[in-house]
Amino acid sequence: MADRKITSMDSLADATAAILAGGLGTRLRSVVTDRPKVMAEIRGRPFLAHVLDQLSGAGVREVVLCTGYLGEQVQSMFTDSYNNLRLLYSQESLPLGTAGALRLALPLFKSDPVLVMNGDSFLETDLRAFWAWHHAHRANVSLALVKMHDTRRYGRVHVDDEGAVVSFDEKRGKSTSGWINAGIYVIARPVLLTIPPNRAVSLEEEIFPVWIGRGLYGHCSKGRFLDIGTPESYSMAEKSL
């Protein structure tokens, strides 16, 4: 696989982490009306704080927050540090999608690869083990996957016995169990450089499918998965975290 990136980075202390925190949260507006989705409170704290706690506990030292809608609230709350984390900000002026936000923030990324997390979901998993797994497979992109009983809202990811992604199923299919994209990735810089700049681009729909057969892997996790994308899932997260 000539396209695969080989890197010698050993620990998450040397890695840049990026959190995608720019979503409009339109489905959540009925219950969260005055703030960006990642600032929705769970147990009296912004959901984003729980994601930052996970990164801090894994030994990450630097995080780039990719903000958008009402992003000034995020920066005002968290400023330039959180626990042992140094925080940097990449603020989009127009919605750029999950991939476009990373392309905009690329000059701030000091490591290759980059650990990327969705700011509106939480997977209970060992990030250090996931990072090591990515390097052991000499992958270009690794996706954290989790098993769900009903994948209709998320779509399914199919991997072979080695963990290589072989296909994606669209959302809104029939109700069935399977592995879904849990919103945590390790992405090599050459992949990020393929993202067209200055326009909205989706990782899930436009970037990841192109890398099937070119070093795209899925790591299967057994941890809890929570997201706050809808009022129902937000309520469930409030009870679970």
Domain range annotation of the chain:
13-240
| DSSP H or E run through 82 | strand 81-82
Q: Is the dihedral of CA 189, 187, 26, 73 positive or negative?
A: negative
For the ranges 22-26, 192-196, 223-227, 228-232, the maximum mean pLDDT occurs at 192-196
Q: What six digits make up the tokens of 92?
A: 């989009």
pTM, rounded to two decimals: 0.91
Q: For the segment 12-60, what is each residue's pLDDT rounded down to a tens digit?
A: 999 999 999 997 666 666 667 778 889 998 888 999 999 999 999 999 9
Per-residue pLDDT at 9: 54
The CATH label, of 3.40.47.10, 3.90.1150.10, 3.90.550.10, 3.90.850.10, for the domain at 13-240 is 3.90.550.10
| DSSP H or E run through 216 | strand 216-221
Parallel, antiparallel, or unpaired: how do β-strands 16-21 and 62-67 relate?
A: parallel
By CB atoms closer than 10 A (0-12, 13-18, 19+), residue 59 is: middle
Q: Whose CA is closest to 123, among 43, 44, 180, 161?
A: 180
Question: If you compute the radius of gyration of the chain from its CA atoms, what whole number of angstroms results?
Answer: 17
Q: What six digits make up the tokens of 58?
A: 């894994």
Catalytic residue among 5, 110, 147, 171: 171
171 belongs to the catalytic site: yes
The strand ranges marked E within 94-202 are 114-118, 121-123, 141-148, 157-159, 165-168, 178-187
Question: What is the C-alpha to C-alpha distance for residues 188 and 115, in angstroms, rounded to an integer?
Answer: 9
Q: For the segment 122-158, what is each residue's pLDDT rounded down to a tens digit?
A: 999 999 999 999 999 999 999 999 999 999 889 899 9
